[in-house]
Amino acid sequence: MTKADLIDELSKVCKLTKRESETIVDTVFHSITEAFAGGDKVELRGFGSFRLRRGRRGRNPKTGSLVSVPAKRVPVFKVGKRLRELVNASTVGR
């Protein structure tokens, strides 16, 4: 699904013009982007959450010793329970 597909679906379901639907979609994307820029996480219950990657402990593959992996400002998406269940239910038997 593309952004244009999302706008089309929103305009059909909510009986809005394409321009109104595009404004809504752009506002949602802008809000998520602004939250990341401010260092916040974005949580959409039942869908998933977006966070910035945290620092962690890793292992040097050559020596096996523990090393500290610094945090990066990279968005990470964690799938929510409901979305995971829906995806798994639709792929059973394929």
Q: What is the pLDDT of residues 49-82, one digit of tens each?
A: 988 877 788 898 999 899 988 877 788 899 999 9
Q: How confident is the model at residue 94 (pLDDT cuts 50, 70, 90)?
A: low
Query: Are 28 and 50 a contacting pair, CB within 8 Å?
Result: no
Positive or negative torsion for Cα 62, 68, 72, 74: positive
Q: Does pLDDT of 91 surpass 80? A: no
What is the predicted pLDDT for the residue at 57? 87
Q: How confident is the model at residue 92 (pLDDT cuts 50, 70, 90)?
A: low
What are the DSSP E strand ranges found in the chain?
42-44, 48-52, 56-59, 66-69, 75-79
pTM over 0.75: no
